[in-house]
Amino acid sequence: MKTVTIKNVTLGSGAPKICVPMVGKTVAELLEEANNLVELDLDIVEWRVDFFEEVEKLAEVKKIGVKIREILKETPILFTFRTKKEGGEREVPSTYYFQLNEMMMESGLVDLVDIELFMGDGEVKTTVAKAQNHQVKVVMCNHDFDKTPPKEEIINRLRKMQELGADICKIAVMPTSTEDVLTLLSATNTMKEKYADRPIVTMSMGGMGVVSRIAGETFGSAMTFGAAKQASAPGQVPVAELRSMLNVLHDSI
C-alpha cells in the first residue's frame, strides 16, 4: 500500500492520524475554533463548511478560508461540504457543490478536499483530475447513518473509490448491533489485506462503534476523527483522550 503525505503528515503508516473538525456557523466562531485548534495535539483539521452560514457565497468562503489558513499555518486542512443526504447540514445544487470544491482547490488554501462517492461518476472523475492539477488530495467518502451495509458492499464501495482515483478512501456506517461493528472491522481488514493500494479510512459511528475509531492501526484504517468541543458525527472521542489511546495501542503493537 502506498502512503499519502500532506505537508508533514503521512497517512498509511504508523498510528492513525487524528483529524478534528471545525463546525463554526459564523466567521467569529470559525476564527475562535481555529485559534483553539492550534493548541491541540492533532494532525489534520477538517473544515466542515456546510455548517458555515455563508457557505453559498463563494467570495465569503474564500475570504474566511484565507484567515483560517493564516491561523493554522502548516496544519493540513481538509475542506468538506457534507451533503444533507450523507448527514450534512444543508443541501446545495450539485453544480454548486463542485464549483465550491474547485474554487478551494484552485485557491491554494486547502490540502485535501472531501468528495462524496455518489455524486456521479463523471463529475467525480473530473473533480479528481482537477484536484491532481492543483496538487490537492481527494478524500472520497460515503456515509450511511441508518445502517451497516454487508461486508461485501463496504468493500465494493471502497474499491470503487480507488477506481475513481481517490487518494484516500473513506466510509462511515451506523451500527445497530455489535455484529455490525465486527462487520465494519472485518471489511476494513479484508480491504487492507487484499485490495487496498492506498490509505483507507473506516469507522463505525455512535457509542457502539467507538472501538473502530481507536483500532485503526490493527485493522487498517489510516485516520480517525476526534472532537475538540462539538463533534461533527456521533461517537467522536475528545482529541486528547484519542491521542492517548492511540499511543498506547501503537506502543503495544
13, three cell numbers: 503508516
Q: What is the pLDDT of residues 208-248, one digit of tens each?
A: 999 999 999 999 999 999 988 765 566 678 898 999 999 98
Indicate whether 182 pLDDT > 80.
yes
pLDDT digits (tens, 9 = 90+) for 92-142: 999 999 999 999 999 999 999 999 999 999 999 999 999 999 999 999 999
Q: Under 8 Å CB-to-CB from 244, ≥6 apart: which residues?
A: none
The interaxial angle of helices 94-107 and 121-133, nearest 10 deg, is 10
- Give the Cα separation of 238 and 227 in Å (integer): 5
Q: What's the whole-number mean pLDDT along residues 74-85?
A: 97
Among residues 7, 143, 147, 160, which one is catalytic? 143
Q: How confident is the model at residue 253 (pLDDT cuts 50, 70, 90)?
A: confident
pLDDT at 34: 97
Whole-number Å distance between alpha carbons of 77 and 21: 10
* Cα–Cα dist 20/27, whole Å: 18
Give 35-78 pLDDT, tens digit per residue. Answer: 999 999 999 999 999 999 999 999 999 999 999 999 999 999 99
Contact 213, 236 (CB under 8 A): yes
pTM: 0.95
**Alpha-carbon span 114 to 68, nearest angstrom:** 18
Higher pLDDT pick, 79 / 240: 79
Backbone angles phi, psi at 15, to 5 degrees: -65, 155
What count of other Cβ atoms lies within 10 Å of the Cβ of residue 38?
A: 12
Q: Is the confidence at residue 196, as pLDDT, over 60?
A: yes
CB 139 within 8 A of CB 171: no
Q: Catalytic annotation on 250?
A: no
**DSSP three-state, residue 140:** strand
Is the per-residue pLDDT at 179 higher than 60?
yes
The answer to whether 141 and 117 are in contact (CB under 8 A) is: yes
Is residue 154 scored above 90 in pLDDT?
Answer: yes
The number of C-alpha atoms within 13 Å of 150 and in the hemisphere containing its C-beta is: 3
Which residues neighbour 101 within 8 Å (Cβ) at sequence distance 6 or greater? 79, 81, 113, 115, 127
- Mean of pLDDT values over 154-167: 98
Q: Provide the mean pLDDT of the chain.
A: 95
Total residues found in the chain within this entry:
253
Say how far residue 140 (Cα) sits from the centre of its chain.
8
Given the residues 170, 192, 194, 229, select the one marked as catalytic: 170
